[in-house]
C-alpha cells in the first residue's frame, strides 16, 4: 500500500488547520487511498489496512463474556474548550477530575524525537528509557530526548519495510530480561522472537524463535505484542490479508490468523499454553487463541489500573471498530469478522457468540483506518484519567472515549492531530506518546 499522506509537520496540528489541509488534499485527489475499500491504497501499509481482518468461529459463546445485542455508540464530537493544569495535592486533584467533561480538557503534543518510521514503543519496569521500534528493523533507546548511538537491536537484514510489513511490535518480559520482537521476515511471514536483554542492549546471538506464522498476503499482519496483567504474552494477528477474508480465517479457530493469541514464553519450549486458554481442549482449534473474529487488530492494550482489554480493529471499507473486554472476561470472545464489520453486517448474520464493538465509526471526513491507543492513567492531564485515547491513520486526530460499563458515556475529539498516526506508547508513569510513521514521536501534554 502507499502511504495516504506525506506530511512533514514536526508539531501538533490544530484540527481547524488540519481540516483545511485535508480539504485541499482531497481536492487534488490525494486522499483517494484513505476511502477506498480495498486495493493497495486502502490504508497505511504497515498500519491498519482496509482489507478484511480476521474472524472467529461461531460455534461457541465466549466463556466469560456475554454477547451484547446493543449496537455500539456512534461518534459525536462536541467542541472542546479550555482546561487547566493540576494544582494542589496530585492524587486528590486526579480523583476530582477523573470524571471531568472530556470536551473541556485542553491538551497538546510535544515532539520528543524524530526517527525512521517508528511503529511501536515499549518500556522496562524501573527504567525511564523509551524503547522504540522502527519499521525498517531497528529498536532504538531514547533517553531525555536523545537517541542512543548504538541500536538496542537491529533486524534490518531480517525484514523489509514494504506493504504492511516490517518490524511491527516490541515488548519486554515482566522482569525486563527479555525483549520480544514481532516482525515479518524476508518472505513476508510473521515471526515472534525473544532476545536476552542486558546492559541496555539485546543479544542477537540469543535469538529464540517463539512463533512462525505463514502469511498468505502482504497486508493484515497485525503484529502488536504486549504483556498482559497476567504477565503472559499477547500477540495480535490479522486475517492474512487480501480483501474480505477470502480464506475465512476470521471465523476459523483452526488457524492462528485473525486472532489474539496468549502464550507463556517463560515456560515450555519454546513456550507453554496457559491452562485457562479457552481453546486448549477443543479438537481442531489452535490452543494459543485467546479471542478471534478480528480483521486486522491494529493496536490493542490493557488498562494498567483495571486490566481491561481494548482492541482497535481496522474495517474493510465501511466501519472502524473498537472492542472492549473487562478484565478477565475476554477469553473466547468472537468479534465477528468477516460476518460483521463494526456494528453492521458484512457477509452474513452475526455469529451465535458475537461480541459487538463498544464503539464504531464510518470513514467520513477522510478517515480510513483506526489506530488503537491506551486508557490514560498519567498525572499530567488528570481530567483524561480513565479515558481511552485513539486516532485514525488518515486524519491523525487524537480522540478520547469514556465508557460506563459497555455504554459510551462520552466521545470527543481532543482538537489535536499528528500526521500518519501509526501507534501510541505508554511510559512507566502512565503518560502517553503518539507515534507518526513520518518520523516524529510526540508526548501528550497539558494544553
What is each CA distance from 327 to 190, 264, 430, in whole angstroms? 28, 18, 18
Task: State how far the Cα of 278 lies from the Cα of 287, in Å rounded to an integer.
Answer: 7
Predicted pLDDT of residue 99: 73
Q: What CA–CA distance (Å, rounded) separates 14 from 2?
A: 25
Instruction: Classify residue 211: in a domain, yes or no.
Output: yes
Contacts of 424 (CB under 8 A, 6+ apart): 121, 299, 301, 371, 372, 373, 374, 389, 390, 391, 432, 433, 434, 435
pLDDT of residue 277: 98
Domains identified in the chain, total number: 1
Q: Is residue 1 part of a domain?
A: no
Q: How far separated are the first and last CA of the chain, in Å rounded?
A: 35
Tens of pLDDT, residue by residue, the chain (447 residues):
333 333 333 334 444 344 444 433 333 333 333 333 333 233 344 545 543 333 333 333 333 333 343 445 544 433 333 333 333 444 444 444 567 999 999 999 999 999 999 999 999 999 999 999 999 999 999 999 999 999 999 999 999 999 999 999 999 999 999 999 999 999 999 999 999 999 999 999 999 999 999 999 999 999 999 999 999 999 999 999 999 999 999 999 999 999 999 999 999 999 999 999 999 999 999 999 999 999 999 999 999 999 999 999 999 999 999 999 999 999 999 999 999 999 999 999 999 999 999 999 999 989 999 999 999 999 999 999 999 999 999 999 999 999 999 999 999 999 999 999 999 999 999 999 999 999 999 999 999
Is residue 5, in this structure, part of any structural domain at all?
no
**What SS3 class is residue 104?**
helix
Closest Cα partner for 278 from 105, 63, 51, 67? 63
* Domain CATH number, residue 124: 2.120.10.30
* 141 prior amide bond cis, ω within 30: no
Question: Which residues lie below 8 Å from residue 362, measured CB to CB, with a gap of 6+?
Answer: 318, 319, 320
Query: Which pLDDT value is given to residue 27?
Result: 36
User: What's the whole-model pTM score?
Assistant: 0.83
Question: pLDDT at position 407, please?
Answer: 96
Which domain covers residue 356, as residue numbers? 13-446
Say if 3 falls within a structural domain: no
Picking from 443, 437, 367, 428, the residue whose alpha carbon sits closest to that of residue 123 is: 428
Q: Does residue 7 lie within any of the structural domains?
A: no
For residue 4, being part of any structural domain is answered with: no
Place of cell 520528543: 112
Establish if 6 belongs to a structural domain.
no
Give residue 2's pLDDT.
Answer: 35
Amino acid at each position: 500500500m502507499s502511504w495516504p499522506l506525506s506530511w512533514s509537520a514536526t508539531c501538533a496540528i490544530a484540527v481547524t488547520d488540519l481540516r483545511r489541509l485535508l480539504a485541499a488534499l482531497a481536492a487534488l485527489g490525494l486522499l483517494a487511498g484513505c476511502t477506498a475499500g480495498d486495493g493497495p491504497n486502502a490504508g497505511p501499509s504497515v498500519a491498519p489496512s482496509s482489507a478484511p481482518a480476521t474472524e472467529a468461529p461461531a460455534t461457541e459463546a465466549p466463556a466469560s463474556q456475554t454477547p451484547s445485542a446493543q449496537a455500539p455508540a456512534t461518534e459525536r464530537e462536541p467542541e472542546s474548550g479550555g482546561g487547566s493544569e493540576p494544582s494542589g495535592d496530585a492524587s486528590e486533584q486526579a480523583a476530582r477530575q477523573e470524571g471531568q467533561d472530556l470536551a473541556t480538557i485542553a491538551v497538546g503534543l510535544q515532539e520528543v524525537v524524530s526517527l525512521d518510521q517508528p511503529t511501536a514503543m515499549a518500556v522496562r519496569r524501573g527504567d525511564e528509557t523509551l524503547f522504540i521500534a522502527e519499521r525498517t528493523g531497528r529498536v532504538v533507546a531514547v533517553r531525555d530526548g536523545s537517541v542512543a548511538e548504538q541500536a538496542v537491536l537491529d533486524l534490518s537484514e531480517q525484514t523489509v519495510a514494504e506493504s504492511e510489513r516490517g518490524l511491527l511490535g516490541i515488548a519486554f518480559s515482566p522482569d525486563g530480561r527479555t525483549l520480544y520482537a514481532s516482525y515479518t521476515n524476508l518472505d513476508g511471514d510473521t515471526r515472534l522472537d525473544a532476545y536476552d536483554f542486558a546492559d541496555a542492549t539485546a543479544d542477537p546471538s540469543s535469538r529464540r524463535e517463539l512463533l512462525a506464522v505463514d502469511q498468505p498476503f502482504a497486508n493484515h499482519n497485525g503484529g502488536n505484542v504486549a504483556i498482559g496483567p497476567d504477565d503472559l504474552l499477547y500477540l495480535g494477528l490479522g486475517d492474512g490479508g487480501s480483501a474480505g477474508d477470502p480464506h475465512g480465517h476470521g471465523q476459523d479457530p483452526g488457524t492462528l490468523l485473525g486472532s489474539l493469541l496468549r502464550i507463556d514464553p517463560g515456560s515450555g519450549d519454546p513456550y507453554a499454553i496457559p491452562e485457562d486458554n479457552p481453546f486448549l481442549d477443543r479438537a481442531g482449534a489452535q490452543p494459543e487463541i485467546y479471542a478471534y473474529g478480528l480483521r486486522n487488530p491494529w493496536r490493542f492494550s490493557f488498562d494498567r489500573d483495571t486490566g481491561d482489554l481494548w482492541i482497535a480493529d481496522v474495517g474493510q471499507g465501511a466501519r472502524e471498530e473498537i472492542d472492549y473486554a473487562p478484565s478477565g472476561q475476554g477469553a473466547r470472545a468472537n468479534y465477528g469478522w468477516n460476518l460483521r464489520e463494526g456494528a453492521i453486517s458484512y457477509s452474513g448474520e452475526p455469529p451465535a457468540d458475537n461480541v459487538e464493538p463498544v464503539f464504531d465509526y464510518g470513514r467520513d471526513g477522510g478517515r480510513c483506518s483506526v489506530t488503537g491507543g491506551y486508557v490514560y492513567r498519567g498525572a499530567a492531564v488528570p481530567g483524561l484519567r480513565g479515558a481511552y485515547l485513539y486516532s485514525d491513520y488518515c486524519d491523525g486526530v487524537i480522540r478520547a472515549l469514556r465508557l460506563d460499563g459497555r455504554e459510551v458515556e462520552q466521545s470527543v475529539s481532543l482538537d489535536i492531530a499528528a500526521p500518519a498516526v501509526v501507534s501510541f506508547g505508554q511510559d512507566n508513569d502512565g503518560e502517553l506518546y503518539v507515534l507518526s510513521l513520518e518520523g516524529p514521536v510526540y508526548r501528550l501534554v497539558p494544553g
